[in-house]
Amino acid sequence: MIDKWEKWARVRMRFVALLFVGFFIAATGRAFYLQVVDNDKLVKIAEKQHQKSIPLTPSRGGIYDRNNAPFAVSIEMDSCYAETRNMESIPEAATQLAPALGLSRDELEAKLKAAKNFVWLARRMPPEQAKKVKALDLEGVGFVKESRRFYPNSQVAAHVIGFTGLDPSGLEGVEKKYDNIILGNTGYLVTERDALGRDIALKKGSEGKAGSKGSNVVLTLDKNIQYIAEKELTKTIEKNGAKAGIAIVMEPDTGRVLAMANYPSFNPNNVKELTPGVIRNRAIADSFEPGSTFKIFLVAAALEAGVIRPGDSFNCENGSCNMYGRTIHDTHKYGALTVPQILKYSSNIGAAKIGQRLGSQRLFTALTGFGFGERSSIDLPGEVGGMLRPQEKWYGIDLATISFGQGVTATALQLTAAVSAVANGGNLMKPYLVDRIVDDEGVVLQQFGPQLKRRVISPETAKTVARMLEGVVVEGGTGTGAAVDGYRVAGKTGTAQKVEGRSYSASKRIGSFIGFVPVEKPRLAIMVMVDEPTANVYGGVVAAPAFSAIAQQSLCYLNVPPDKSIKKKPAQAPDKVTPQAEQAAVEGVTVEGADAGTMPNFRGMSMRQVLRVMEQRSLNVKLQGSGRAVEQNPPPGARITTQDQVWVRFVPSA
């Protein structure tokens, strides 16, 4: 019996011993796992419980023009914070800090007392302000570098570049479209917290992690051509009392956009009080009836289809024609006109009759081929596709009206891309704005280039249309104001009624001119649109001169040699100019003895004075440069008429 109990006791002891050994091994293994295998993970969890990360503004990559001139850059600025637990006296600190921060003492003291410990006092401070705060050398006040977006050219290309928010994500333009490429990684500060989650102090030995910079974007825009386009567009809008305007400059062969100007514009460095109407990029976001500029594509389609030849004649019925129960009018009374004359004099009746011969299905197919009714897919946000109704939904009159640009809408960019197809021999190119993505070392991360969308007309048709459009700009055409001294120009005027509700406005118009230069080897396709001009509504008067000015200056800047075959008119010998007549020119009034048929002496006059004199004499003058007049053609006293080419060159005053 005793042996039996002793045996059972030994079994129990061994079991208990094994149990203790098992517990020991499990505890040791768990400890090893927690302290060695899972150590990093647990440390991070512990740190999260006792640390707080404060995000810092990430740095954005730069945006540059095609010559690497900066459009948008990120600059480092001081951000100021306070650790209230390290302050000897919050009221005293508030008293000293308030004037430097531009805050009231009471407001700042309340802000400091409300903080658990860490609080931002000012983010991205101006250098002078940061200098004042640093000079106070207050305990518990620290600084960290943060990035701020800056646009060195103010409003130049503002609608294309866009702007950022405070976070700072891109909100408009290229900044928004390429935000994930331009925006760098967010940095952070690390603070320690107590058991109740209150901030104690910045973690010792670590100031967190600085944000990394994003990639740089290089555009196809040329800052100088962009400036020229904006300057001339602004002049045109202000001179004609217009509501708004657009100017686009594009390389016809490639689709590269060299300039995209909008009026009114804005300064992206200060966008707090801007309205959506001002920041909207009208060049891609607004569609309008193109008016007679659409006749370019009608004629191109009809020639390509073989339904007309340049020598064909159409009866324009003395300015009034009934079609499908509606009356179509021309601004002047014409009889028989050839196809080139229909473009030159911009006959709506002639265009409608070409449209009848072409037919609605072929016209619709051609227009969609030129890119109308669809987005161009340019690398910008907010583009619309315009309105071109399916051919099966056209009514009888629609064929006629669409033939001269009514009942259809397009954007300025669509029109520029379409006319570029005529200029380059028939290829519709995809418009684009971003040339490449690079890092800070200049290494190309992504390269973009010309993309052919489709061929729309043959090279022969394109050349024929170009020759016809050249006639629009010569004497007698509607676009003589678009002529460029020394270069052959092809283009077309447009004047369209604005739609208000379901009807056309009786007074509001859109004047436009679109074309390319030089005709033989086009380097530039240019579109100018003027919205609601009041001084004059016709595209040949309000938009064509702006085309000429943009083209003249841009060709000179690009060193495109003039056509030597174009002979300038010889200047006539100057007649004697009386002092009274010269003074009358300066003051912009007519006095006895001043001959209205002679060229005044503009030397030393301002641009405003020159415009006043020429407007009084109903003469078209081209202005070059800015400042005071130093050179002119014809010379003072020369006989001039309304058909003469008159220009005045200005240089800035010393």
Catalytic residue numbers read: 292
Fill in the amino acid letter for 88.
Answer: E
Q: What are phi and psi of 631, to 5 degrees?
A: -150, 150
Q: Are the C-beta atoms of 436 and 448 separated by less than 8 Å?
A: yes
d(CA 220, CA 259): 8
- Give DSSP secondary structure letters for 230-261: HHHHHHHHHHTT-SEEEEEEE-TTT-BEEEEE
- Give DSSP secondary structure letters for 264-326: S---TT--TT--HHHHS-HHHH--B--GGGGHHHHHHHHHHHTS--TT-EEE-GGGEEEETTE
Supply 88's token pair. Answer: 């000897």
Count Cα neighbours of 484 within 13 Å in the Cβ-side half-sphere: 28
164, β-bridge pairs: 170
Which of 241, 160, 224 minimizes the C-alpha distance to 530? 241
H/E stretch holding 134: helix 127-136
Which of 466, 434, 514 minimizes the C-alpha distance to 246? 514
- State the DSSP code for 573: P
Supply 553's token pair. Answer: 């200056």
d(CA 348, CA 356): 12
Which of 390, 424, 478, 419 minimizes the C-alpha distance to 299? 419
Which of 145, 135, 140, 147 minimizes the C-alpha distance to 100? 135
Q: Which residues have CB under 8 Å from 366's CB, separation 6+? A: 297, 300, 301, 304, 305, 358, 456
Residue 523 DSSP SS3: coil
Residue 580 DSSP SS3: helix
Count of residues making up the chain? 654
| Alpha carbon 624 to its chain's center | 24
- Give DSSP secondary structure letters for 186-207: -EEEEEEE-TTS-EEEEPTT--
d(CA 637, CA 546): 27
Look up tokens 């890119």; give the residue. 371
Other residues' Cβ atoms within 10 Å of the Cβ of residue 190: 16
Which of 468, 599, 489 minimizes the C-alpha distance to 544? 489
What angle (nearest 5°) sits at the alpha carbon of residue 390, between those of residues 323 and 313?
35
What angle (nearest 5°) sits at the alpha carbon of residue 317, between those of residues 316 and 321?
95
d(CA 592, CA 486): 37
d(CA 216, CA 70): 10
H/E stretch holding 345: helix 339-345
